[in-house]
A = this chain, B = another copy of it.
Amino acid sequence: MSAADITAAADRLLARYGYRRMTVDDIAREANVGKGTIYLSFRSKEEVILSVINRHIEATFDLLRKIAAEPRPAAERLEDMLVTRVLDRFERFQPYGESLHEMLAAIRPALLAQREGQLRQEARIFGPVVDELGGERGLARTLLAATNAFLPYYRSTEELGGRARLHREVRSLAKLLVAGLGASRLDQRTLAEAP
């Protein structure tokens, strides 16, 4: 029951103080539980942080699934999904400010360990919509790779520019990618052969 409470408490503290100056005792106090209680739900402090991050990522995935199921042309849905993938993540991690990178750096190995699984999961959300358009199986992964450079994980918040600029750039890219997907349906052979 308290696992979610602990995660929520850690999230609040992360946004306020950043990773370095958030101790396990702090989390316990903020969540109104004893320190030991945290270790009934999590194996380590790192796992608590990971849980915070994953909650955000899962929330974005939910949004993507919702868009994927909307009754609109697949092209529109796919474009919006790509934009949402980037913008929702941006908005979710914006509050952590520059301390985000300190945090990501601190748990980098664990993050990398699960990144592949998460990409696979995300590809599974995009897959069916890609299917509706032109079909090549691996293209969902390609779409993700193309938009990855806009994620906070890769660029610092300031490098991403303001929300408005990011929105413009990623929208433009999304349109281009969807257009390419549409075209590839007409000309499958060109895309199939990869040296």
* Chain A interfacial positions (CB closer than 8 Å to B): 112, 138-139, 141-143, 145-150, 154-155, 159, 167-169, 171-173, 175-184, 187, 190-191, 194-195
| Bound complex: CA A180 to CA B142 (Å) | 14
- One of B149, B172, B178, B183 near A194 (C-beta < 8 A): B172
- Whether the Cβ atoms of A146 and B175 lie closer than 8 Å is no
A147 to B167 CA separation, bound complex (whole angstroms): 18
Chosen A-B contacts, 10 in total, with CB atoms closer than 8 Å, are A145-B173, A146-B177, A147-B149, A175-B194, A176-B181, A177-B177, A179-B191, A180-B180, A180-B183, A182-B183
B-chain residues with CB within 8 Å of residue A175 when the two chains form the complex: 180, 184, 190-191, 194
Q: What separation, in Å, do the CA atoms of A138 and B154 have in the docked complex? A: 22
- B176:A180 contact, CB within 8 angstroms: yes
- Establish whether residues B145 and A169, one from each chain, have CB atoms under 8 Å apart when the complex forms: yes
A79, closest chain B residue (CB): B190
Q: A154-B154, A177-B180 are in contact. List 9 more A-B contacts (CB 8 A).
A: A142-B173, A145-B149, A145-B173, A149-B149, A171-B194, A176-B191, A178-B180, A180-B181, A183-B183
Measured between beta carbons, the chain B residues less than 8 angstroms from A180 are: 175-181, 183
Bound complex: CA A184 to CA B148 (Å):
22
Q: How far is the CA of A93 from the CA of B194 in the complex (A)?
A: 24
A148 to B169, CA, bound (A): 13
CA distance A173 to B176 in the complex (A): 11
A176-B139, A179-B184 known; A149+B159 contact, CB < 8 A: no
